[in-house]
Amino acid sequence: MRRLWLIFSQAATVALAVMFVVATLKPQWLQRDGRGFAEVVALSQAPLLPASAAAAASAGASFTGYNAAARAASPAVVSVTASKAGLRNPHAQDPTFRFFFGERSAETQVGFGSGVIVSPQGVLLTNNHVIEGATEIDVRLPDGREARAEIVGTDPETDLAVLRIQLDRLPAITLGNMQALQVGDVVLAIGNPFNVGQTVTSGIVSALGRQGLGLSTFESFVQTDAAINPGNSGGALVDVRGHLVGINTAIFSRSGGSMGIGFAIPVDVAQQVMEGLLRDGQVTRGWIGVEPRDLTPEFAENFRLPIKDGVLITGVLQDGPASKGGLKPGDVVVTVAGEPVGNTAQLLHRVAALKPGSPAVIGVQRGTQTLQLSVTVAQRPRQTQRQR
């Protein structure tokens, strides 16, 4: 019995040794469910791909980054050089001053930014603060061509400007769909930071509809962590297809450089402003002549208001549209043309969307009274550039 057990043990040991050698040197000889042993191990250790890379792999292609988006959009993103005459010394005409300091002419000031060609006919979008006050505006394309630009129109309240250049065979960027853009989507920022030349950076959409930053009157920014630096202003924010989703306009920074918080004007706002400037030379917006302020819980409680959301009217322009319609200081606006209003930014956007010359119903809470006032909307006066 002991002899049989010894023979069995030796045979089992030899069989295991043979299987180990075969598995090491000839794994294809061992099959499991129609697949080799080595293939099973490789599949269990396969690295997980990003969603975009996985989609490319499933389509039979390897993920190579966002070079296709950069190639599609970059030819339409230009460098903008704005020049304006410097200020002359107020004592320049004083003979004594000229005796000691000589004749000194005002030095030309030069600023750099970016722009985006949106039409083969030479229409460009950029920021108003890039070209404000400029006497000469020069545009340089990525292919090396240069042209002098003329100003079609500006809109300081959204910090947008429309330029035009006269060149043949101009590339034009494709406008994207803001409704499809979501937080977390990959975006590329293309521009001319620090005037080093065209640069592409990548990031994601960090937030949508960002307001209350004090950068412009009408704010609804796309926030991104794609690196945006001085000189990127007026450049393109594009999606992974290379379609324009925003005009880069500002950064939050304590050092002057990128800190991962940049803001872009949504493409739908830019398109609306551009069409108004091309058609009428100005952007038509509604205006009722009030001084608004966000309603605070303390105010609502102190005056025993039955509402918590709305916009407090602290001042009404004498003989303005709101005054003629019966609006008074202390009223709280809760709706405009049937649309709810929860803060000052919403009130500005709702009123601006109204057609000048047409009547609009303003829902108001006056103490314990709920009123519906009819106001004839006027054309919003043109504003000057805000201090950035």
Where along the chain do its domains lie? 75-164, 178-280, 286-379
The predicted structure's pLDDT at residue 91: 57
DSSP string, 296-357: PHHHHHHTT-S-S-SEEEEEE-TTSHHHHHT--TT-EEEEETTEE--SHHHHHHHHHTSPTT
Active site residue 91: no
Q: Looking at 74, 206, 216, 233, which residue is catalytic?
A: 233
Residue 212's pLDDT band (cuts 50, 70, 90)? confident
CATH class, 178-280 region = mainly beta
**pLDDT, greater one: 365 or 385:** 365
Residue 39's pLDDT band (cuts 50, 70, 90)? very low
**pLDDT value at 22 more than 90:** no
Q: Looking at 74, 79, 155, 159, which residue is catalytic?
A: 159
What does the pLDDT average to over 93-104?
A: 57
The predicted structure's pLDDT at residue 364: 93
DSSP state of 159: T
Q: Looking at 129, 216, 258, 331, which residue is catalytic?
A: 129
The CATH topology of domain 286-379 is Pdz3 Domain (2.30.42)
Residue 301's pLDDT band (cuts 50, 70, 90)? confident
What does the pLDDT average to over 296-305?
A: 84
This prediction's pTM: 0.72
**pLDDT value at 215 more than 90:** no
The predicted structure's pLDDT at residue 86: 62
pLDDT in tens, 167-197: 999 999 999 999 899 999 999 999 999 989 9
Helices (H), the chain: 2-25, 37-44, 51-58, 67-73, 95-101, 128-131, 267-280, 297-302, 321-325, 344-352
Residue 274's pLDDT band (cuts 50, 70, 90)? very high
Residue 302's pLDDT band (cuts 50, 70, 90)? confident
What does the pLDDT average to over 347-360?
A: 91
* CATH number listed for the domain at residues 75-164: 2.40.10.10
Please give the biggest Cα pair distance in the chain: 129
Active site residue 159: yes
Active site residue 129: yes
The predicted structure's pLDDT at residue 168: 93
The predicted structure's pLDDT at residue 105: 53
Total residues found in the chain within this entry: 388
Report how far apart, in Å, the C-alpha atoms of 253 and of each of 207, 227, 233, 257, 337 are: 17, 11, 14, 6, 39
- 286-379 has the same fold as 178-280: no
**pLDDT value at 112 more than 70:** yes
Q: Are strands 236-238 and 221-224 parallel, antiparallel or unpaired?
A: unpaired
